[in-house]
Amino acid sequence: MQVAVVGGGPAGSLLGILLHRAGLDVVVLERRSVEHVRGRIRAGVLEHPSVTMLREHRLADRVDREGMRHEGVVLSDRGDPLRVDFQGLTGHGVVVYGQTELQKDLFAAIEAEGVEYLDEIEELALGDVTNRPVELRYRRGSREETLLADVVAGCDGAHGVTADAVPRGVRRTYERYYPFGWLGIMAETAPVHPELIYARHERGFALCSMRHARLSRYYLQAPLDTDLGAWPDDRFWDELRRRIPPAAAERLETGPSIEKSLTPLRSAVGEPMAYGFLALAGDAAHSVPPTGAKGLNLALADVVDLAEVLLEAKDPGPEALQAYSDRALRRVWRAVRFSWWMTTVLHRFPDDGPFAERIQDAELALLRSSVAARRAMAEQYVGILP
Ligand code: APR
Ligand code: PHB
């Protein structure tokens, strides 16, 4: 069986590895160069089940050596910190490990095991996905190529082309745009706190995260039309100090940023996640705001489900892929709800007024007073679905 995987980010790379190991013929087709994909800065938190899964597939050596195990997070409400003890509440933690590093680990396996990964492919066009074989045409350098596939996996992210192969009458998209983005920086400074700080503040949300002992990642809620040029590092650090707990603000180590970017926040799910001989996985099928750190974890979980369906079905076709879609969507919607909830509770919504603010007060008061509320939050954050 020939599988074409469109897109070689974390989802496509992992799928390529799992199917190749099982003896299937698989080709990963990636638009950008390997260097570009390897260098991209993206997410940073691996849920407990993601780490377990990577271990099971012998892909977690470096995650285990270099990842930072976190047993909780801090939620700050207008400067007042509340720790949520993941380990105590669920028996599990998460691992802070950059998607950039995970992508390097996946490339190492791809190279060592001889998974076919073609980068810098251009103008990919999908033929009729309701008939087998599906024809994929693309250009690589000056050569026009055609690939015939029994199954196509669309792992081409939020701006890919495979989702468009599902006709408008079949595919329904559920989405919510948030009226703000995250202004993020990376700096070679010590993280301000050993755990992540998610901070609600009247000036807007802030997040203190990290990659390792000398690499910090910070974000500020910012308007969508924010001009990065208007945010020199000093302005960023001053604003961050205002939004986080005073004890953290005092300790904050500042330094030149090595990256600065603005990410809009959006929730979106396209249903179904399969059509004919095409299945979608990861950001190609859904987007979540980064607030719950779910994007990368959802992508990895989709791929594991899809690989299982492809390997278990005798002759995987529309029915098996539909079963994958049904299974994945149940999980996806729970993560969509959680990241929507965290976003809604912690951000300042410019048009929402005092009622919404009081609701946020009540949400945070509930978390502070109720161990059951904290446990529910912790279970969802670490990714165990009771
Ligand atoms: N043809 C081939 N490749 C494409 C095309 C195309 N037309 N369009 C996009 N791609 C590639 C992109 O260059 C990218 O490398 O598909 C890949 C998609 O990767 P990601 O965007 O990383 O998506 P995914 O693998 O689903 O990873 C999950 O979780 O943390 C979040 O958004 C974050 O990237 C992360 C995602
Ligand atoms: C990150 O470190 O980039 C990060 C961490 C947690 C989030 C989002 C992003 O919720």
For the CA of 199, the nearest ligand? 2
- 291 Cα nearest atom in ligand 2: 10
From atom 6 of ligand 2, which residue's Cα is the shortest distance away? Answer: 293
- Ligand 1 site, residue 283, Cβ cutoff 6 A: yes
Residue whose C-alpha is closest to residue 296's, from 28, 3, 45: 45
- For residue 362, the one-letter residue type is A
| Residue 290 CA, ligand 2 centroid: distance in Å | 6
Tens digits of residue pLDDT in 5-43: 999 999 999 999 999 999 999 999 999 999 999 999 999
Give the active site residues: 70, 198, 290, 294, 381
- 43 Cα nearest atom in ligand 1: 30
Tens digits of residue pLDDT in 86-108: 999 999 999 999 999 999 999 99
- What whole-number distance in Å separates Cα of residue 35 and Cα of residue 55? 25
- Ligand 2 site, residue 209, Cβ cutoff 6 A: yes
User: Which pLDDT value is given to residue 314?
Assistant: 86
- Ligand 1 site, residue 204, Cβ cutoff 6 A: no
- Ligand 2 site, residue 45, Cβ cutoff 6 A: yes
- Ligand 2 site, residue 43, Cβ cutoff 6 A: yes
For the chain, residues with pLDDT lower than 70 are: none
Cis omega (within 30 of 0) for bond into 133: yes
- Ligand 1 site, residue 6, Cβ cutoff 6 A: yes
Burial class (CB in 10 A: 0-12, 13-18, 19+), 353: exposed
pTM of model > 0.85: yes
User: Which pLDDT value is given to residue 332?
Assistant: 98
For the CA of 12, the nearest ligand? 1
- 138 Cα nearest atom in ligand 1: 1
User: Which pLDDT value is given to residue 385?
Assistant: 79
| Residue 61 CA, ligand 1 centroid: distance in Å | 24
Q: What is the largest CA-CA distance in the chain?
A: 64
For the CA of 280, the nearest ligand? 1
Specify whether the backbone of 175 is left (phi greater than 0), alpha (psi in -120 to 50) or beta. beta
Residue whose C-alpha is closest to residue 85's, from 93, 77, 96: 93
